[in-house]
Amino acid sequence: MDDMKKEDPEKFKTHFSKWSACLTKAKAKSIEELYTKCHAEIRKNPDRVVNKRKHEPVRKVVQKGAKLVQQNSKGKKWLREHRFSHEERKQRVVARITAAMQS
């Protein structure tokens, strides 16, 4: 990382811009120094702080059934497939076979 900084500063900026911003923000000269600072802070107070949500996430069901489509408040959709038990799968296979035999 240091070699690239000396040889090609533009390439260093494109590759390590987030790292260098983090180092300047933490007032550390190297990554090793940053890690030692972070570990020292964790050892000082190891309790994990969990941020509480302001409200529960909104999930709206767009399509019901085996292939459940859900949508959040921002409009993002995703597929949540329903997992069938072994017995339910057996029943579906039997139903499909009987439907195929009748038609």
In order of 30, 86, 93, 95, 103, the CA distances from 90 in angstroms are 61, 6, 5, 9, 20
Distance between CA atoms of 36 and 41, rounded to whole angstroms? 9
Q: What is the pLDDT of residue 96?
A: 96
Q: Which of 1-10, 27-36, 55-64 has the highest mean pLDDT?
A: 27-36
pLDDT tens readout for residues 45-75: 999 888 888 888 888 888 887 788 999 989 9
Whether the full predicted model's pTM is greater than 0.75, yes or no, is: no
Q: What is the pLDDT of residue 73?
A: 87
Choose the weakest-confidence range: 12-21, 49-58, 71-80, 83-92: 49-58
